[in-house]
Amino acid sequence: MPDRVNMEKIVSLCKRRGFIFPSSEIYGGLASCWDYGPMGVELKRNVKNAWWKATVQERDDVVGIDASIMMHPEVWRASGHVDSFTDPLVECTSCHLRWRASEISNERCPTCGGELTEPRMFNLMFKTAIGPVEEEASTIYLRPETAQAMFADFENVLSTSRKKLPLGIAQIGKSFRNEITPGNFIFRTREFEQMELEYFVKPGTDEHWFDYWVKERFNWYINLGIRKENLRLRQHGKEELAHYAKDCYDIEYLFPMGWSELEGIANRGNYDLTQHAKYSGRDLSYYDNEEKKRYIPYIIEPSGGVDRSVLALLIDAYHEEVVEGEARLVLRLQPSLAPMKAAILPLSKNEKLIPLAKKVYAQLCPSFMTCYDDSQSIGRRYRRQDEIGTPFCITIDFQSLEDNQVTIRERDNLAQIRVPVEKLEETLQAKLSGEPFEATPLWATRQK
């Protein structure tokens, strides 16, 4: 297997197996817009659930929100996005392609060699109008980050949750940026999903919490099964820091196009609440009962992309190998992330096997994402399941009709065990929670 998979193979697997395909493809697609198919939507949901569990559910210092994508336009003036969320852009006077000025190494168009215009600033926010009458409608923006809702809702969340600082507000949701040069599949798109946490802390404790969240977030990716050697931390240089940031680390992943940002963790100081207090006229300071004083909280922000996490997980899990002389492509996704946990495969389409196979399928469906497949040869069906990363294939054969036992085949080590049908859920549950395949219950015997 080559050391690193290229993006073409990932795009092709995603299309072939229903993870991700071009949006509105029957009309020729829409540049850099992608749809998550039946497998992709499960993987993405599992990633979001893992983030929510680690960030909100398992902590008592973080609560969640799900805010409106459209917000009051003043939010984006206060945040600095109206004035500063811009990229310098140059346009080719011949082919009219636009480029980020920073991407141009000589003075000519990289596509046709044409002459380029002087750079001009281009705001990345999508504008739209709200209201039925066009002339009276007011301009609003599709949010370019989910973060601002956490600042705008701080007062409401604080008073209703009855929590003290440090307090985090978390959100997962769509964001929109009119990127000049989207690309690299789902790495940079104009519509994407973010997983953001705004962690409000007492000034002076911000550096401690910043270090804490950098470590915490790095370990989250490791715990999802991404190999450590493909992850690294990179601190922003002073000149690179966003206008609001005191300090910032990127968690980078070794994508096929090189090391690139997976997530940013910023110490935003007291910039956000100070700005929103100024623009809204509301007092957004916090009364610290222990210190008996008011202050504007500082904010630590871990901000990750759902789509980039999905892409990194697919790349990291992708393995081509040869097993007993046959090539096999397998997605070694952590079982908790795999779109399907089990596949029910009757050995053949024999009419005696199908009813038992369908019964087992119906038995597992309420507890696990399970699929049923009785088409083509068993070898081809195993291969299909390997390619979508299904950790367990359950085969029903003629022996099953006699002893009411089925065979579980494990995706990674290809070990097979026989299990009574009534012990199936229990066995799968144990394996999904990490029990090694060898540690099978006493009643399970290895198939010869």
Residues of the shown chain interacting with ligand GAP in the complex, contacts defined by CB under 6 A = 145, 147, 177, 179, 188-189, 192, 194, 196, 261-264, 301, 303-305, 307-308
Separation of CA 431 from chain center? 24
Quick one: 305 or 335, whose CB is closer to ligand GAP? 305
Residue nearest to ligand GAP (CB): 305
CB of 182 to ligand GAP, least distance (A): 6
Quick one: 87 or 196, whose CB is closer to ligand GAP? 196
CB of 230 to ligand GAP, least distance (A): 16
CB of 196 to ligand GAP, least distance (A): 6
CB atoms within 10 A of CB 428: 22
CB of 296 to ligand GAP, least distance (A): 18
Write the CB contacts of 337 (distance below 8 Å, at least 6 apart in sequence).
Answer: 43, 46, 47, 50, 224, 225, 313, 389
Quick one: 87 or 387, whose CB is closer to ligand GAP? 87
258: left (phi over 0), alpha (psi -120 to 50) or beta: left
Quick one: 145 or 374, whose CB is closer to ligand GAP? 145
Quick one: 49 or 260, whose CB is closer to ligand GAP? 260
Name which of 342, 363, 447 is nearest 405 in CA terms: 447
Quick one: 194 or 400, whose CB is closer to ligand GAP? 194
Name which of 299, 274, 63 is nearest 201 in CA terms: 299
C-beta of residue 236 within 8 angstroms of C-beta of residue 247: yes
Q: Phi/psi at 378 (nearest 5 deg)?
A: -60, -35
CB of 95 to ligand GAP, least distance (A): 24
C-beta of residue 321 within 8 angstroms of C-beta of residue 330: yes
CB of 59 to ligand GAP, least distance (A): 20
In a 13 Å sphere around the CA of 365, the CA atoms on its Cβ side amount to 9
